[in-house]
C-alpha cells in the first residue's frame, strides 16, 4: 500500500510518500517540500493574509498533484500550529480542504508532540529506555518524555523559530540585546514545564527531531558511530551556546554559507538556537541526539498500526 503524509506546518508544506504494509517498516519513495514561512504572512491580529493563504493553497494543490502522480492509495493530511492558531483559521482550513478534496486533520500541540514521540520511540527502539524529546517548528516547541510509545508528559509552547524571529529578532542581524530579550522570554515560557518534566525519571536518551535541530547539529554537533553502522549526530549545549553570539552578529545572507544552514533556515536559525539552548538548560540537558524521524513518520506509523490491528488473521 502506498501512503502519503502531507504536513502543513508553519515553515513548509511537506509531502512524504511511503510504501507500507501492516507490521512492516515504511519505505519512503518521495519527499516534496514547499517553503512558505507562514509567519511572514500574519496580520497584527493573527490572521493569515490573502497572499499567504493563496501561497498555502497553491502548495497544497501541488502536493495533491504529486500524490496523484505517485499513485498514493490514501493521503493523510495534517496541519499544525500556524493554521491551528490563525485568527481566520476556519476559513483557511476550508480553502485547504477544497484544494485537497478531502478533510484536513488539524493537530493540537500535545497531539503533535505525541505523534513525534511515537516516531522517535520507533526509531530508537525499546532499548533506549526513558526518552526526552525536543521538537522545534516554525510556530511552536513540543516537548515529550516517557518510557513507552506514548509519553508520560507532553507539552506544546509558542516558542517556534519563525514566531520568535518575527516577535523578537526582526532585524538582520538581530544583535545581542534582541537575543537576550528572546532568551528571557523563552526562560519565562519554559519555567512552568520544569516541574512536570523534572518529576519524571532521568532520561536515558535526549532527542531532537526537527529540521531546525538537524541544521544546528550539522553546525555545532559531531557524528559518532551508531548501531548497525548508522551514524549518530550529537549536539552539545556548550557548543550551541558558543555559536549563538556568532550567529546573531552575522547577516542571514552569510549564515547560509555555514555548514548545515539551508537558505530557508537562515533567518530563523538564531531564534531556533536560542530556544533550543534554553529548553536544554531548563531541563538540565548537556547533550542531545538527533532523530531522522519526526511528525510525518509518527502520523504514518500510527496509521500503519491501525492497519495492523484491523488486518484479518490468517
CATH number at residue 69: 3.30.420.40
Query: What is the predicted pLDDT for the residue at 308?
Result: 63
310 part of a folded domain: no
Q: Kindly give the confidence (pLDDT) of every residue in the chain, 314 residues in length, as a single tens digit, with 9 standing for 90 and above.
A: 999 999 999 889 999 999 998 878 889 999 999 999 888 899 999 999 999 999 999 999 999 999 999 999 999 999 998 898 999 999 999 999 999 999 999 999 999 999 999 999 999 999 999 999 999 999 999 999 999 999 999 999 999 999 999 999 999 999 999 999 999 999 999 999 999 999 999 999 999 999 999 999 999 999 988 655 567 899 999 999 999 999 999 999 999 999 999 888 899 999 999 999 999 999 999 999 999 999 999 999 999 888 765 555 44
Same-domain status, 176 and 257: yes
194 part of a folded domain: yes
Same-domain status, 209 and 263: yes
pTM of the model: 0.93
Same-domain status, 149 and 90: no
312 part of a folded domain: no
Same-domain status, 204 and 135: yes
Instruction: Examine the fold and report which residue of 84, 106, 128 is the final residue of a domain before the chain moves on.
Output: 106
48 part of a folded domain: yes
Same-domain status, 174 and 92: no
End-to-end CA distance of the chain: 19
228 part of a folded domain: yes
Place of cell 545572507: 253
Query: What is the predicted pLDDT for the residue at 82?
Result: 85
Domain hosting 75: range is: 2-106
Query: What is the predicted pLDDT for the residue at 314?
Result: 45
Instruction: Examine the fold and report which residue of 106, 129, 160 is the final residue of a domain before the chain moves on.
Output: 106
Distance in angstroms (rounded) separating the CA atoms of residues 56 and 92: 9
Q: Which residues share a beta bridge with 135?
A: 142
Query: What is the predicted pLDDT for the residue at 248?
Result: 96
Same-domain status, 49 and 184: no
Amino acid at each position: 500500500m502506498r501512503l502519503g503524509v502531507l504536513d502543513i506546518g508553519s515553515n513548509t508544506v511537506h509531502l512524504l510518500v511511503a510504501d507500507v504494509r501492516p507490521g512492516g517498516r515504511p519505505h519512503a519513495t518521495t519527499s516534496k517540500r514547499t517553503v512558505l514561512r507562514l509567519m511572514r504572512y500574519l496580520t497584527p491580529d493573527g490572521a493569515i493574509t490573502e497572499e499567504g493563504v493563496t501561497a498555502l493553497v497553491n502548495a497544497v494543490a501541488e502536493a495533491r498533484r504529486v500524490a496523484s502522480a505517485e499513485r498514493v492509495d490514501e493521503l493523510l493530511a495534517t496541519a499544525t500550529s500556524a493554521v491551528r492558531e490563525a485568527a481566520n483559521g476556519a476559513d483557511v482550513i476550508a480553502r485547504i480542504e477544497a484544494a485537497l478534496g478531502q478533510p484536513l486533520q488539524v493537530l493540537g500541540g500535545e497531539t503533535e508532540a505525541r505523534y513525534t514521540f511515537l516516531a522517535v520511540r520507533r526509531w530508537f527502539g525499546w532499548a533506549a529506555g526513558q526518552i526526552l524529546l525536543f521538537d522545534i517548528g516554525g510556530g511552536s516547541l513540543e516537548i515529550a518524555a516517557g518510557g513507552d510509545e506514548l509519553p508520560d508528559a507532553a507539552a506544546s509552547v509558542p516558542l517556534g523559530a519563525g514566531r520568535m524571529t518575527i516577535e523578537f529578532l526582526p532585524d538582520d542581524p538581530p544583535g545581542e540585546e534582541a537575543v537576550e530579550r528572546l532568551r528571557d522570554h523563552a526562560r519565562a515560557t519554559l519555567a512552568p514545564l520544569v516541574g512536570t518534566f523534572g518529576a519524571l525519571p532521568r532520561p536515558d536518551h535526549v532527542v531532537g527531531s526537527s529540521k531546525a535541530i538537524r541544521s544546528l547539529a550539522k553546525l555545532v554537533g559531531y557524528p559518532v558511530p551508531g548501531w548497525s553502522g548508522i551514524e549518530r549526530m550529537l549536539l552539545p549545549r556548550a557548543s550551541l551556546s558558543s555559536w549563538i553570539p556568532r550567529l546573531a552578529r552575522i547577516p542571514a545572507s552569510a549564515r547560509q554559507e555555514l555548514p548545515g544552514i539551508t537558505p530557508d533556515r537562515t533567518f530563523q536559525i538564531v531564534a531556533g538556537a536560542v530556544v533550543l539552548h534554553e529548553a536544554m538548560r531548563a531541563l538540565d540537558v548537556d547533550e542531545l541526539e538527533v532523530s531522522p524521524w519526526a511528525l510525518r513518520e509518527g502520523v504514518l506509523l500510527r496509521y500503519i498500526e491501525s492497519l495492523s490491528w484491523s488486518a484479518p488473521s490468517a
